[in-house]
Structure formats: C-alpha cells, structure tokens
Chains A and B, each alone.
Chain A
C-alpha cells in the first residue's frame, strides 16, 4: 500500500467520515482515495474551492463533534494556517496531514522536511501548538493517523501528520488491524440545543485580555500534560553509543543504513528518532548529552530540528547538521561521512 493511501484507509478505520481537500502534489492520492471510498460508506468527500475553504470546512465539522481531516502539502498548509490558529483557539479536534515538499514559495514537488518550524512552533498567529507526528514507514503512516485522531479528541486540539513526499509515495506492506478507541463524549459540540440545554458556542474571540490570557494559560496547562504523557521516540543502538545521530521520517531510514555501516567499521553510533516532533522528546537527548561526544542532526532542510536538539541537549556536546534541501535526500554515504568525521574529532 502507498503511504498516502495508508493514511486515508486508517482515517476511515478511525471513524473519520468527513474529508475536505484541495489538489496538491505529492499528497493527492489521499484525496483520490477518499473520493472513491467515502460515498460508499456514507461519508463525505468534498473537494473545496481552496485550502482555506477546506480547513474551514474541517473547523465546521469539528465543531459538531465528528472526526474530520484534511491533507495538503507545504504551500497548501501555509494557506491553512489561518484555520489551524482558529482550530487551536476554539479547542477543536481535527487531523491535518502535511506531505511536505521543498520550499520556500512554490518550491518544488520533491520530498522535504522544511516545514518543521511551521508545524512544531504553531504554524500561524497566536500562542498554540499542534501535536506533530512524524511517521517513518507506511505502517506508521497508518498507526499515527489513528493515534492522531485519538490524541486530538483526548486533548481537544489539532494533530498533524508531518510526512514527506517519499513517505507518501513509498509502498510497503501494512497491517490495518486497529483497536480504535471510541471518541469521547463531546458535550461542547455545536450540534443543536434541542431546546434541552444552554447554547454552545464554538469560538476563539475573547475581547477581554484577562479572559484571553486565562484561556491561553489553561491551554498551556494541557500542553504540559501532553509533554509529560504523549512524547514518543525510538532509540536504535543507543546503549553504548559514543556518537548520536538524530533524524525523523525518511531521514531516519537513511541514518539507520549509515549507522549499520558505521557499526561494521567499529564506530559506536546510535540513533534517536523523534516520533512526536511536538512534544519534542527532550529526555533522550538530555541523557545522550551525558554519554556521547557529539550529535548529528540529519535533515531534509537547512537545519530546523537541530535547534530543538541543541536545546534538549543543553549544548553540552557539539551538534552538527548533515543535510540536503530543496527536495534532495541525504545519502547513507553522506551520513556515514559525517559520522566518521565526528568520530575522528572533526565536529564542526
């Protein structure tokens, strides 16, 4: 199954019956899959007139308490920024998929990870976060889609799948055998009072600064709980590692190949792969900083995650960047070279 299709089918299994999107490469398979499947299962696929309309349709469905999603790629996600901020401000659960391509501007259509800042630091105006999930296999594209819906409902916020063009197009075997947790009760939903309760309001406007501040503090209390309970990462050969490589998504797979090769050459190197990019897995880097002589951040960008790596490792060891950008992917040889260079004390 293709990564994009795995996301679509997993969303349906997770109970999502509403999808709104606008065509953009390289994620269009998600929309095509939904267009075929949704009418057959009583769901709604609607091609919106714009990315902006799509995210606002998502906001509308979310306000009724139903599971809902949209997907796009980098330039399209920028357009969705307004809606992402409103979803956050109104505490609406939804799933957003970004199958990233190279930027800035119209950029290109090849894989990239250069929306890391946009995804993890909010992505639009105001104080807010999204839960950002970074799959590194087609199986994880499906797993994290289900997880994304569950987390969104649990914490009343947006989850984002931050994939890239490779993940979207890659074909791998995938198991879709999920035990989906039922969505929680949503007494806040704007789905009609039936004249049986006070009216509900889905809203992000608070003209009193005291009230708005209170809302923001409350939201960040919730974020703290998420940081404590929902952080996910994978460690690979870190037990005895003297060098730490870190990467997410497709870059982590390239990094693993390089690590295997370096191990063959007797270099003790391991990998920390963040699965949640927000909340960022601080703990393993804190630990690694006491153990390794340096950290190499492998990224398909000009170096974005590296800033969080430096913060998490408190700059106790050198952190270097091994990257390609604009739609290019680092090769295992390039990563291996960075590992050897650090092993020889040549950390930049």
Chain B
C-alpha cells in the first residue's frame, strides 16, 4: 500500500530551494490540489520573479514565466484567452506586494477568476535578504541593517486585510506552514482557492506565511518558531473574505 507518493503535478526534479525553506511544502500542496481536482492537464501556472522564479520547472502543468510583479496581469491574459482553463500565479511578497501591487489590486478589483498563492516570508530571498514590503517593524535585513524603521520607510503591508476592502475579491485567507496543523489548514485553503475558480467564483488569494531561514539568519527550526512568535501576531491567520459564504449567511 502506498502511503506517501509524489503528486503527479509535481515534477520529479531537485528543487533549488535552501534547506528549511517552506517553498517545497507549498509547491507540494499546490500539486496535491491539482491532482485531487483532476485539473493538471488544463492548468496554466504563472511563475514570478523571486525565489520561486524557477517554479516553471517544478510543476508538470504548462507554465508561463512573468516579469517581476506582473503575474496577475499575465494570468488575466491567459484566463481571458482560455476561460475554461485553470490559471494560478505563485508569487512572493516583493513580487506581489511591492513592484506588482497595482496588478494585484486590479486583478482583485476585477474579480479576475484566477487563483493566487502568495508567499509572505517578510524578505527578498533571491537577491540575498533585503527588506520586503512585509518585513516586520524592527526587522533586520540587508537594506534595513539597523532594523526596519517605520518612521523612515513605512509600515508592512497587510495584503489580505487591504484586499478585503475591495468589492471584487471573492476569497482571501491567510495561512501558515510552520507546523502540521497549519500545513493541513493551508492545504484546505489552497484547495478552496482552486475550487472557487473551477466553480467560476472569481479572485481567490491564499497568503502563506512562510519561513526563510537563510536570510533570517536562523536554523530551520528556529525560523518556524519565529513564525509563531513574530509573524503570526502581526499577520493573524484566518479568512479575510469569503463572498460566497457571506451570501449564504445572509
């Protein structure tokens, strides 16, 4: 009896991610969801610029590499051309919440029927650990070496809270992948975000609080603990919008 197998939608190649990085977990969850919903053959994934830039090699569905921050616009083009297909983007915090904020907000405002997996690890990983739009106040990074000074460079952006103000967005949930319980909840949210698209419900974004042991300067274990200690208190987990559920309640 097979108790553990690689999802079909996940390519059988070595990932380039650092030891202890949670990208691997989230990749697997996305691939499992594609398998379970039977959508791999009609899915087109959009990879971002950042640590997951090479995600196009890691999923077996068709993949498009977008310019930095432009994944929601690229996804819009793909989805408008192929409305019967499933389109998702996989983006980091610099990509989605800094250089690509306009594309993110407007895709949500249009209720574009796409799924966004948003990795929030509060840092630019690929370029070596610079301050991200989601870096915490006081957080030390390469470009905030004395800690993020909110009087100088402003406050972190809470993406789910912000997007929840838009009438267009269908479903927004923040999850984490730092322990088994949270990973299970994350899987459920990601599955719902894809199922919403299958059902034609519209813009669904799952923000995944993730770790970056390398650039946080921590052991993988300590990094997972730091998510509980620092990240989740600033970025509370939960559903920020679920328009269909709200309608049912009303």
B67 within 8 A of A: yes
- By the criterion CB–CB under 8 Å, are A56 and B102 in contact? no
A240 within 8 A of B: no
Q: Give Cα A58 to B85, complex, Å.
A: 17
A204 within 8 A of B: yes
- The main secondary structure of chain A at its interface with chain B is mixed
- By the criterion CB–CB under 8 Å, are B102 and A53 in contact? yes
B206 within 8 A of A: no
A148 within 8 A of B: no
Chain B residues, CB < 8 A from A204: 65
Greatest chain B CB density within 10 A among A53, A68, A201, A205 is at: A53
Assuming A49-B102, A63-B64, A66-B81, is B76 touching A192 (CB within 8 A)? no
Total number of residue pairs linking A and B with CB closer than 8 Å: 132
- By the criterion CB–CB under 8 Å, are A199 and B59 in contact? yes
A334 within 8 A of B: no
The chain A residue with its CB closest to the CB of B43 is A192
Report how many residues on chain A are interfacial, defined by Cβ distance under 8 Å: 39
Residues of A that sit less than 8 Å from B by CB? 18, 20, 44, 46, 48-50, 52-54, 56-64, 66, 68, 82-83, 86, 90, 190-196, 199-205
Chain B residues, CB < 8 A from A59: 64, 66-67, 70, 74, 77
Residues of B that sit less than 8 Å from A by CB? 40-44, 46, 53-54, 56-57, 59-67, 70, 73-82, 85, 102-103, 105-106
The chain A residue with its CB closest to the CB of B66 is A56
- By the criterion CB–CB under 8 Å, are B77 and A192 in contact? no
Chain A residues, CB < 8 A from B41: 192-196
- By the criterion CB–CB under 8 Å, are A57 and B67 in contact? no
- By the criterion CB–CB under 8 Å, are A201 and B76 in contact? no
- Residue from B42, B81, B103 in contact with A56 in the complex, judged by beta carbons closer than 8 Å: B103
- By the criterion CB–CB under 8 Å, are A192 and B42 in contact? yes
- By the criterion CB–CB under 8 Å, are A64 and B82 in contact? yes
Could you list some 5 contacts between A and B, CB below 8 A? A49-B106, A61-B78, A192-B41, A202-B65, A203-B64
Chain B residues, CB < 8 A from A56: 66-67, 70, 73-74, 77, 103
- By the criterion CB–CB under 8 Å, are A49 and B74 in contact? no
Q: Give Cα A61 to B75, complex, Å.
A: 9
- By the criterion CB–CB under 8 Å, are A57 and B53 in contact? no
- By the criterion CB–CB under 8 Å, are A46 and B62 in contact? no
The chain B residue with its CB closest to the CB of A198 is B60
Chain A residues, CB < 8 A from B79: 60
Q: Give Cα A196 to B46, complex, Å.
A: 20
Chain B residues, CB < 8 A from A191: 44, 62, 82, 85
The chain B residue with its CB closest to the CB of A195 is B41
Nearest-CB distance from B232 to chain A (Å)?
32
Q: Give Cα A204 to B74, complex, Å.
A: 14
Q: Give Cα A15 to B68, complex, Å.
A: 30
5 other A-B residue contacts (CB within 8 Å) besides A56-B70, A63-B77: A48-B73, A59-B64, A60-B74, A60-B79, A191-B85
Q: Give Cα A86 to B77, complex, Å.
A: 15
